[in-house]
Amino acid sequence: MDRAQRNFLETFPIFAAAVLLLEVLDRTGSALGVWGAGLYLAGRVLFLPLYAAGLPWIRTFSWNAATLGLALVLAAVVAG
């Protein structure tokens, strides 16, 4: 569980900064940003219980969904 928490703490500051940057740039309604934020949050919410349950393959899918969400949010920042 400690490893799962450390993993979250590595990605969340990047996500938070990207979402705040979308707000500052007035791009919060973009489809990339909305889908990305939703995917990131859903993936991270599911990751911890899946990690605790010891389901590595499903957990990996959840982590990949969260990473894709983060990439979409970052793409929304860059897309302008």
- pLDDT at position 3 is 85
Please tell me the total count of domains within the chain: 1
- pLDDT at position 4 is 84
- pLDDT at position 14 is 96
- pLDDT at position 7 is 87
Report yes or no on whether pTM surpasses 0.95: no
Q: Residue 34, Cα to own-chain centre: how many angstroms?
A: 11
Using CA atoms, how far apart are residues 25 and 44, in angstroms rounded to an integer?
Answer: 25
Using CA atoms, how far apart are residues 26 and 30, in angstroms rounded to an integer?
Answer: 9
Quick one: what percent of the chain has pLDDT higher than 90? 80
Question: Which residues of the chain carry a pLDDT beneath 70?
Answer: none
Tokens of 5: 């928490």
Helix and strand element counts for the chain (H, E): 3, 0
Domain span holding position 64: 2-79
